[in-house]
Amino acid sequence: MTQPLLEVLADADALARRAADLMSAAAHAKNGAFSVALSGGSTPKRLYQLLATLPFPWARTHWFWGDERFVPPDDPASNYRMTREALLSHVSVPADQIHPVPTVGLTPETAAAQYEASLKTFHGAGQLTPERPLFDIVLLGLGTDGHTASLFPGKPMLDERRRWVGATDDPNGAPRITVTYPGLESSRETIFLVAGADKKDRLREVLAGDKRLPAARLQPHGTLRILADHAAAGD
């Protein structure tokens, strides 16, 4: 893992506020299109609810997802649905700047290929280079098993370096679509949001560079931040 900048916040609410401030500052500092890869879960939901109340360059921001469960967009488990309800339905974002993972009427493999094609269209190139990142910000979480996005321990997708998006499954066998390491690493800034005492051991292992954990294998080209609450950071 690229050496991260670790910040410890008082609690999950302070963590969300710090992440919102970082995102807002980065967005306002850049001219032209601004691109974000979103994460699912309860911790980023607080961030999204807060973002919806802040001034933000909605008209030039593009919203993508780092991973998605292969469920319909109105399913309670959908990352897209959570983000729409917490953030996107409350702000003025042009519809063509919201880029959900397709999950209806096709196979997971076809969905992954279509999402990769949409990323390439947005990027305007078929190759990723450090000089021209795909994303301005990538938001990521840390699972209790060390996974991030839908990159789970022991899965073949961990070794994928050619495709930008792939189909995989979680430990229970449920299909998922995930942006791969090459896509996630192509970002100006990567922000891990880590909250809760159940993440304490995994966070310590990630910070130690334990490559058995998918989160520790990430090597982003830009800045890497880990925002953790006191419960996750421990001592």
Report how far residue 149's alpha carbon sits from residue 142's, in angstroms, rounded to the nearest whole number: 8
Q: Is the pLDDT of residue 42 over 90?
A: no
Q: Over range 86-100, report the average pLDDT.
A: 97
Q: Over range 58-73, report the average pLDDT.
A: 98
The mean pLDDT of the chain is 96
Nearest to 104 by CA among 64, 63, 73: 73
Q: Is the pLDDT of residue 161 over 90?
A: yes
Q: Is the pLDDT of residue 222 over 70?
A: yes
For position 154, what pLDDT does the model report? Answer: 95
% residues pLDDT > 90 (the chain)? 96
Q: Is the pLDDT of residue 2 over 90?
A: no
pTM equals 0.96
Instruction: Find out whether 164 and 179 touch, Cβ atoms under 8 Å.
Output: yes
Q: Over range 199-206, report the average pLDDT.
A: 96
Report how far residue 200's alpha carbon sits from residue 202's, in angstroms, rounded to the nearest whole number: 6
Question: How would residue 1 be classed by pLDDT, with cut points 50, 70 and 90?
Answer: low
Q: Over range 136-163, report the average pLDDT.
A: 97
For position 3, what pLDDT does the model report? Answer: 81
For position 76, what pLDDT does the model report? Answer: 96
For position 41, what pLDDT does the model report? Answer: 82
Scanning the structure block, which residue is given the tokens 């001592």? Answer: 235
How far is CA 42 from each of CA 143, 186, 231, rounded to the nearest angstrom? 12, 25, 15
Helix H, strand E, coil C: the string for 71-136 is: CCCCCCCCHHHHHHHHCHHHCCCCHHHECCCCCCCCCHHHHHHHHHHHHHHHHCCCCCECCECCEE
